[in-house]
Amino acid sequence: MKCKPILVVLAAGMGSRYGGLKQMDKIGSSGEALLDYSVFDALRSGFGKVVFVIRSGIEKDFRDIVLARIGNSVPYELVFQELDSLIPAGIAAETRKSNRTKPWGTAHAILCAEPVIDAPFAVINADDFYGRAAYTELGKFLSSDDSGEGAIVPYRLENTLSPTGSVTRGVCGIRDGRLSSVDELFSIERDGDAIFSTEKDGSKRRLEADTPVSMNFWGFPTSIFKALHAYFDDFLEKQGLEANSECYIPKAVDSFIKSGVLSFRVLNADSEWFGVTYAADRAGAARRVSELTASGVYPATLWPKPAQSASTGS
C-alpha cells in the first residue's frame, strides 16, 4: 500500500523581524497559530503525517502550546534543527567561537527531518497560510505522481507583500508547466503603484504584480535527499564560516533544475496566501482567519478537546 504524503512544517526560525516566536503566536479564536490551519488543511487533502522541525530551545513551549492543543487529532513526529546538526566538527567549533545563533536555513531543516521521511513530502513555513486549494493540488500530485519530480505551488507577487516592510521572494521562471529557475530577490516592496526589489548595490529592479513567486510551498520525492546532502556539503565548504550564511530551499532547487538533477512541476491553485513576517502583520492575519471561520471554511475550534499528546516525538 502506498504511503500517504507527509507534511514537513519548518518551525525552527528565530523570528528576528517579528520580535518573537511567530510560529506559535495565537491567530485563531481558540488560540490556533497559522500552522494549525496548515495542518488542518493538509490532513483534509490526503496527507498522512506531520513532521515539525523545531529547535530544542523551544521544545517545551511547542509541546505545551501547539502539541497539547492538537493532541491526538494529528499523527506527528518532532525533530530538531540545531546549529551542530549535520555540521562537521571543524565548522561547528568555529561556529561556537563566533557565537552564531541563526539556524543554517530551510534546506538544512529538511535534511534534519530525513530520518522520519519515508514517503513523498511537502514543505511549508510554519508562519504562512497557503489555503486549502494549494494543499489539495499538492496532495494529489504527491499521492499519484511516480515520475520522481518535485513540485511547487507559486503565488502572485502582489498578494505576498507586507504593508509593514520589505520581503524576500523566490521569483519563478516557468516554461511548459515546469519550473525553469528560481531567483531569490531581497528587499521587495511597493513604491507607489510599482513593486521593486533593491539589489545589494542599491540598484532597483521593477517586478510585475503577477510575477509568480515561491512561498516555500514545495513537494519533493524522497530521492531529493541525496542531492540535497551534496548541495549542503558544498554550501558548508564555501560559506560555512560566514556568521550569517543560510542554505535556502529556492537556491538549492534552482541548482537542481539547472544541473538536471531534478525537475519541478508547477501546480496552479486558486489559493490565497498571507503570513506574519512582521508583528504588525498579525492583526491582518487574525482578521482574515476570522473571516474564513465566519464563512464556514474553518470551524471555530479546529481540534477536539480535551487535547492529549499523540506522540512523544523523536
Classify residue 38: in a domain, yes or no: yes
Domain limits at 233? 6-156+214-294
Crossing angle between the packed helical segments 132-144 and 34-43, to the nearest 10 degrees: 40
Classify residue 304: in a domain, yes or no: no
pLDDT digits over 39-53, tens only?
999 999 999 999 999
Q: Can you list the residues of the chain whose pLDDT is less than 70?
A: 1, 14-21, 145, 306-314
pLDDT at 98 (0 to 100) = 83
Distance CA 276, CA 186 (A): 17
What CATH number has the domain bearing residue 72?
3.90.550.10
121 dihedral zone (left: phi>0; alpha: psi -120 to 50; beta): beta
Of 155, 124, 158, 162, the residue nearest 279 (C-alpha) = 162
Grid coordinates belonging to 90? 571543524
Classify residue 308: in a domain, yes or no: no
Classify residue 81: in a domain, yes or no: yes
Grid coordinates belonging to 303? 481540534
pLDDT at 37 (0 to 100) = 97
Classify residue 306: in a domain, yes or no: no
Running DSSP on this structure, what letter comes out for residue 225?
A: H
Classify residue 150: in a domain, yes or no: yes
Classify residue 243: in a domain, yes or no: yes
The stretches of the chain forming alpha helices (DSSP H) are 34-43, 59-62, 68-70, 89-98, 106-113, 132-144, 224-239, 249-259, 281-294
pLDDT at 19 (0 to 100) = 42
pLDDT digits over 236-260, tens only?
999 998 888 999 999 999 999 999 9
C-beta of residue 283 within 8 angstroms of C-beta of residue 13: no
pLDDT at 14 (0 to 100) = 55
Distance CA 80, CA 85 (A): 8
pLDDT at 1 (0 to 100) = 53
pLDDT at 3 (0 to 100) = 84
- In order of 176, 196, 275, 276, 286, the CA distances from 280 in angstroms are 39, 21, 11, 8, 11
Strand, coil or helix: what is 66? helix
Domain count, the chain: 1
Classify residue 32: in a domain, yes or no: yes
Running DSSP on this structure, what letter comes out for residue 308?
A: -
C-beta of residue 294 within 8 angstroms of C-beta of residue 180: no
Q: In one letter, which amino acid is 155?
A: Y
